[in-house]
Structure 1
Amino acid sequence: MKVLLTDQAFPDTDLESEILAESGHDLIVASSPEDVRKLAPEADAILNALAPIGADLIAMMTKARIIARYGIGVDNIDVEAAASSGIVVTNVPDYCVEEVASHAVAMALMLLRNLQRADESARAGQWGVGSVRPLHRISTLTVGLLGFGRIGRLVATSMASFGCNILVYDPYAAQIPGPFQRVDQDELFTRSNILFLHAPLTPETRGIVNEAMLSKLPSEAIVINAARGPLVVLDDLVAALRSGHLKGAALDTFPVEPLDPNLIADVPNLLLSPHTAFYSEEAIKESQLKATRQIVKVLAGEPADYPVKAVTSP
């Protein structure tokens, strides 16, 4: 059968080709969005990274039985349209949990200890704590988690190890284990000294961190986003940093990527990484392996390990 790769996110597709060939399938790599539209009608399965797969493209997939995405989020895929067409959508929800959680925590610690400024001062021969004041003991701070999936849970556990009080807002989480405290959205924002975003991008969460919600955060709070860029209204976040209401922010993802550097020029206390939180060599291989195996299983008539359902309000 024919497996169409819509866009190539990794250095090579040797692993995918090998796995598919063992089951008698051929991998076809599209070279452009136009190529995807040309090849989609004849594809039995779709392997996807970042390319958008909307209802119009899905309507052309008359043979496809599965759309397998390499990553966690599926906001680039119209899951409802796929379901209506009888197409299974899968993701790889557990491939970079350690990487994203450690990246988010590292960003938070860097801001909390003002390490950027400390490094600049040491290099300039400015000794002592004057350049990094004020700093506060981490155990005195309250951490808020917007989203409590695999990554959010690991971040919560990591920050709890420093003695932080942990608050969680996630209407989809069945249980919040002690000593973590479930709160509503308003309480999360009004009490969090450190706000970690680990929610999926849905109509409900798009722009959830906006001017109104940022104003609820305690003075000198910090915001960490290693989830989905559009969770944050970037202009509102920049304004809160410039005004001094926020102590700092760290972003790995952005509403539009790559980021226009002019949008964040000279913004104080803003730590950036270019959408790298997911990355380790091990994570990439795991993503390739698991996404491709979903295709093999579904084409063989077996159930997928990671079927995705359309998100509905609780």
Structure 2
Amino acid sequence: MPDRVLITDVPWDDLSVERAELARVGATLDRASANDEATLAREAAGASGLLTCWATVSAAVLEGAGESLRVVARLGTGTDNIDLAAAARLGVPVTRVPDYCVPEVADHTLALLLAIRRDVVGSVNAVRAGEWDPDRAGGLRRLAGDAIGLIGFGRTAAAVRERALAFGLTVLGENRSGDDRGTGCEMVSREELLERSDVVSLHAPLTAETRRTVDAAFLERMKPGAVLLNVARGGLIDADAVLAALESGRLAAVGLDVFEPEPPGERLEDWHPLARHPRAFVTPHTAFLSRESLIELRTRAARQVADVLSGRRPEHLVDPAVWERRTGD
């Protein structure tokens, strides 16, 4: 019997990219009929691998697959939708693709900042409404000479730094280890970063420790009139606190590509008011998106499943120790 892989959920209908990669090792691919825990646990039974995008891969789903399960692969960078503790307990390695969209997210970070500082959205909307008045954007400020603070200094933040330097910004970095990833970025404490930064940009993963990093106390320590950007995870900010800081003038503007939940409410009238605030520049979780990034993501995620099924060590293991216990490699 060929190995069977179950894909829990994806926003695209064509699975030809994934099937082509799995076919290299003779594996087949099924798509789950629904994303609730009971359905996934039932349909995962006997599967050799799971590919997942946003669906919750709980302990029950992992246990439902049984002893045949050899790998769970995330179609994305983070793994907060996968029960990593249960996977480790069951000896199932988990993979991800942490760097497939680094250029896109870095570009999007600067795009949000430029849209805010150059009044791009307001000016475009005014012209479309028949208004030609350069004076309406009279409060514009140049970027060069300002400081941007990057919280969570990983691959994406390093790429943001390269772009920010090209615009003449001073770049500050902050992470738990103080590692500048060989970039020469000035690494500072959280307190110093907030005091010095005209723009604060979030690039940290969402964990129990980082949830609601941006709360009222965080915002109070920021420079008055600073800009906040979040292209990482919606759960990093307290939306109520950010809304209050916008309305008080503590924040000049925010640029958000992520929200919690997404969309920001079940019905438009229930959306969190931050999502529609006139000084909130919100995009619908598209920072990662390009034709190129999606093909790369799909290919590399499926290839890691194929690698495990053929006995090869995959490219990006979340916990290498699980692989080593399972294989002795």
Q: Matched residue of 1:99: which SS?
A: helix
After TM superposition, the structure 1 = structure 2 runs for residues 33-182 of structure 1, keeping only pairs within 5 Å, are 33=36, 34-62=38-66, 63-122=68-127, 123-129=129-135, 131-172=136-177, 174-177=179-182, 179-182=184-187
| Corresponding position: 1:297 with 2:307 | yes
- 1:173 to partner: Cα distance: 5.3
Letter in 1 for 2:31: V
Distance 1:177 1:238 in 2: 36
- 1:11 to partner: Cα distance: 3.0
1:15: which partner in 2? 17
Distance 2:15 2:178 in 1: 36
Q: Matched residue of 2:272: which SS?
A: helix
- 1:136 to partner: Cα distance: 2.3
TM-score, reference length from structure 2: 0.89
Distance 1:38 1:266, change over 3 A: closer
Distance 1:28 1:266, change over 3 A: closer
2:4: which partner in 1? 2
Where structure 1 has 5 or more consecutive residues not aligned to the other structure, the ranges are: none
Identity across matched positions, percent: 35
Distance 1:178 1:293, change over 3 A: closer
Letter in 2 for 1:2: R
Distance 2:132 2:80 in 1: 47
1:96-116 residue CA offsets vs partner (Å, 9 max, x unmatched): 111111111101111011222
Q: Matched residue of 2:73: which SS?
A: strand
Letter in 2 for 1:223: L
- Of 244, 250, 272 in structure 2, the residue corresponding to residue 263 of structure 1 is 272
1:147-188 residue CA offsets vs partner (Å, 9 max, x unmatched): 111111111110111121111111145335465211112222
Question: Is the 1:165–1:180 Cα contact (8 Å) retained in structure 2?
Answer: no
Question: Is the 1:20–1:292 Cα contact (8 Å) retained in structure 2?
Answer: yes
Q: Matched residue of 2:11: which SS?
A: coil
- 1:134 to partner: Cα distance: 2.3
Question: Is the 2:6–2:44 Cα contact (8 Å) retained in structure 1?
Answer: yes
Number of aligned pairs? 309
Distance 2:94 2:111 in 1: 32
- 1:239 to partner: Cα distance: 1.3
TM-score, reference length from structure 1: 0.93
Q: Matched residue of 1:77: which SS?
A: coil
Distance 1:279 1:120 in 2: 24
Distance 1:176 1:287, change over 3 A: closer
- 1:126 to partner: Cα distance: 4.5
Question: Is the 1:242–1:268 Cα contact (8 Å) retained in structure 2?
Answer: no
1:25: which partner in 2? 27
| Corresponding position: 1:279 with 2:289 | yes
- 1:61 to partner: Cα distance: 3.0
Distance 1:211 1:60 in 2: 42
1:105-153 residue CA offsets vs partner (Å, 9 max, x unmatched): 1011110112222234444425233x22322221121100011111111
Q: Matched residue of 2:42: which SS?
A: helix
Distance 2:156 2:31 in 1: 31
- 1:57 to partner: Cα distance: 2.3
Distance 1:203 1:81 in 2: 17
Question: Is the 2:173–2:180 Cα contact (8 Å) retained in structure 1?
Answer: no
- 1:58 to partner: Cα distance: 2.2
Q: Matched residue of 1:41: which SS?
A: coil
Letter in 2 for 1:127: D
- 1:14 to partner: Cα distance: 1.1
Letter in 2 for 1:198: H
Distance 1:219 1:228 in 2: 24
Letter in 2 for 1:237: V
Question: Is the 2:74–2:96 Cα contact (8 Å) retained in structure 1?
Answer: yes
Distance 1:176 1:97, change over 3 A: closer
2:326: which partner in 1? none
